[in-house]
Amino acid sequence: MATRTVVFVLFPDLQSLDVTGPMEVFIGADNWWAAHHAGGQPAYQVRTASLGGRPIRTSSGLLITPDEDLNRIDPPDLLVVPGGLGSRKADPALIDWLRLHAPKAGRLVSVCTGAYLLAQAGLLAGRRVTTHWAYAASLAKRYPEVEVDAEPIFIRDGGLATSAGVTAGIDLALDLVEEDLGHDAALAVARDLVVFLRRPGNQAQFSAQLAAQVAQRDPLREVQRWITEHPGADLSVETLAQRAHLSPRQFARAFAAEVGVPPGRYVDQVRLEAARRRLEDTADSITETAKACGYGTPEAMRRAFLRVLSLSPAEYRRRFQPGITRQPKERHADRDLAL
């Protein structure tokens, strides 16, 4: 197997973890490959480069001396563009370099707000991308020719891959390693870094509770709390309206206005979040989980998982709760719903 070259683009005020997180994944994968293929070619050659080869200081104050000058590198197999404050006040010379040289890379990756740099260089037009949730709306407004999706932790679109904030770059790097070297390599790296292998790219960037706004009025805030604490209860609009001492129509309008989503959608998000947590943290069967989280049947929960995460509950559990010991009847229940 030929060695893949990986170059991280450095610039002032970048987010240091956007570089060091994915870099640790590729270095770890190269170490694993060397241990299992003695005498063979390295899996990855990882380098850093800046304009002029100048040292840069990250937004956290860390000083990084690059390996190379961007103007003197050959097109790499993988070019990684990090984000951070410096990506939103970019050096025009860096944008010019990206516009000319980034398309020559075998694969192009942005981490967090590194997508701003690629968009400014005209490299994202007509592509579906993601970035840190807090900057997604700004990116979409500034570059209307780019299809921005704030939900997934990363998106792969052919030879282009974009990821959400900070640690999502690690998830994306693990996905690339798994594609290049196989599942065992990615799993070994994930274990060494004590991270999941691997959050699916379409997993939401943050929980349903964090994603929603907090209602301004006390009765509606109380309803939000009730929904979170009782996902298996009757959470119909009529029942929730009674708790808020409003008519169903008044409640639905007020909830949507203050929370940002209709009550039914909010309930769906909270129930899915609760089910995910139970599958990750408990040995409850899928049938028990579905009942506890307010799904009428396990099949209803399965459809919700497939619609939002493109994973069945059983597959979700296998990815996020490896090694859990369950009773035989629970294993059978999960197996039945895996198809």
Cis upstream peptide for 198 (omega within 30°)? yes
Q: What is the spatial distance between Cα 84 and Cα 305, in angstroms, rounded to a whole number? A: 33
Other CB atoms within 10 A of residue 177 CB: 29
Residue 156: what are its φ and ψ, rounded to 5°?
-110, 125
Other CB atoms within 10 A of residue 97 CB: 17
Residue type (1 letter), 173: A
Name the helix (H) or strand (E) containing 108.
Answer: strand 107-110
Residue 1 and residue 41 in contact, taking contact as beta carbons nearer than 8 Å: yes
Tokens read off for 326: 């369950």
Other CB atoms within 10 A of residue 241 CB: 21
- DSSP letter at 113 equals T
- 112 catalytic residue (yes or no): yes
Tokens read off for 78: 């993988």
Contacts of 335 (CB under 8 A, 6+ apart): 314
**Strand 68-69 and strand 78-81: pairing?**
unpaired
* Residue of 296, 300, 295, 293 whose CA lies nearest to 273: 293
Exactly one of 14, 79, 102, 112 is catalytic; which is it?
112
Contacts of 329 (CB under 8 A, 6+ apart): 285
* Residue of 108, 122, 51, 111 whose CA lies nearest to 79: 108
- DSSP letter at 230 equals -
Q: What is the spatial distance between Cα 9 and Cα 18, in angstroms, rounded to a whole number? A: 11
Residue 213 and residue 220 in contact, taking contact as beta carbons nearer than 8 Å: no
Cite the active site residues.
112
